[in-house]
Every structure is written in structure tokens, then in C-alpha cells.
């Protein structure tokens, strides 16, 4: 019947990735989403052949800031969350050489020079350094500035939807 939803759409699910958390999936009916990336950084990883994806919402650059917190919530930090993300992806049969990356966030949402700790900038640097040291290339970024970002990854297609207060954009990590 015209206008009826397809079966897959009836069973599609959204998994919300909170601050300092991550999720991976090979379920093609899942969309991974994270909201309001300000100074935090979102790392989206996708293997288009295995149709496996993951999303990390890291909050701080270095687990040395709080080793106790890193032990209980490693996804909170770039240096412990990134290895955890990639181990989880490989566990779902993603292949390192096929993984494509999108990085978003790292903003100074307070604007101007009011972020004396430069958390967004430090998060981006820590993320870029870890990825480069481990041989991962980033396909696309939307980083810095002063706006929050929301990111959605469709596991079935590799489509990314990026939303800010002023725009909605779509990208693909499948190509």
C-alpha cells in the first residue's frame, strides 16, 4: 500500500550515546546518536563492507586527570576511549583498513576567550594525535567553532546526519 512504512522502518531503533560513553553495532536497523557535542568530541567509525559502526562521545583528553574515573568509565577520555572503541569494532568483524572516520565537536561553546582550559581544543588535539599514531585517517570533520553538534550514524547505510542550531547536513561513510 502506498505510503506504508517498510518493515525495516517499523523495527528501526535509536541508541543514544551519552557523554563519556560509546556504542558499537552491526545491527542494520540501529541508528547511533549523540546529542549536544560542545567541547566534547564525537568519533564516528564505520566499516562499509562489514556494516559495522561505532560512536564515541569523549569528554576529556587524558585519563591522567582522573585515573579512578578512567577505570570505571574509560570512554570519557580520549586516550582510553579511542582504544576501547576500535577494539569493540574489531570484535564485530570490522577491518582496520576499511574503517572510515568522522570527527565532530571540540567547540568553545562559551565563545571568545572564556574557555581558559581550552577543553575542546585539547580534546581535538588528543583525538587527532591518537588516531594518527595508530594509523587511522579521518575522512571528514566538523570541529571547533562555538556551536553544539548532534550526530546520528545509520548502521545499515553508513549515513551520518549532523545537526547544529543553524544547519542540517548529511554525509556518507559508506563511499
In the block, residue with C-alpha cell 570512554: 75
- Catalytic, 40? Answer yes
Please tell me which residue in 17, 22, 30, 40 is annotated as part of the active site. 40
| Cα distance between residue 71 and residue 77, in whole Å | 10
SS3 content of the chain, % helix, strand, coil (to 5): 30, 35, 35
Question: Around 7, how many Cα atoms within 13 Å sit in the side-chain half-sphere?
Answer: 0
CB-based burial label for 73 (10 Å; 0-12, 13-18, 19+): middle
Torsion angle of C-alpha atoms 62, 73, 117, 64, degrees rounded to 10: -30
Can you tell me the distance from the alpha carbon of 108 to that of 110, in angstroms, rounded to the nearest whole number?
Answer: 6
Give catalytic residue positions: 40
Amino acid at each position: 500500500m502506498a505510503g506504508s512504512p517498510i518493515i525495516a522502518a517499523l523495527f528501526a531503533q535509536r541508541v543514544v550515546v551519552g557523554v563519556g560513553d560509546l556504542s558499537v553495532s552491526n545491527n542494520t536497523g540501529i541508528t547511533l546518536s549523540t546529542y549536544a557535542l560542545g567541547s566534547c568530541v564525537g568519533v564516528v567509525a564505520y566499516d562499509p563492507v562489514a556494516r559495522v559502526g561505532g560512536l564515541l562521545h569523549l569528554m576529556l583528553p587524558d585519563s591522567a586527570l582522573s585515573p579512578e574515573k578512567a577505570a570505571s568509565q574509560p570512554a570519557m577520555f580520549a586516550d582510553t576511549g579511542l582504544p576501547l572503541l576500535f577494539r569493540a569494532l574489531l570484535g564485530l568483524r570490522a577491518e582496520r583498513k576499511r574503517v572510515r572516520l568522522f570527527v565532530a565537536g571540540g567547540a568553545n561553546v562559551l565563545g571568545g576567550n572564556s574557555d581558559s582550559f581550552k577543553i575542546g581544543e585539547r580534546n581535538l588535539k588528543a583525538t587527532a594525535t591518537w588516531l594518527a599514531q595508530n594509523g587511522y585517517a579521518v575522512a571528514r570533520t566538523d570541529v571547533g567553532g562555538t556551536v553544539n553538534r548532534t550526530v546520528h550514524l545509520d548502521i545499515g547505510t553508513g549515513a551520518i546526519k549532523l545537526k547544529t542550531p543553524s544547519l542540517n547536513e548529511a554525509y556518507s561513510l559508506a563511499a
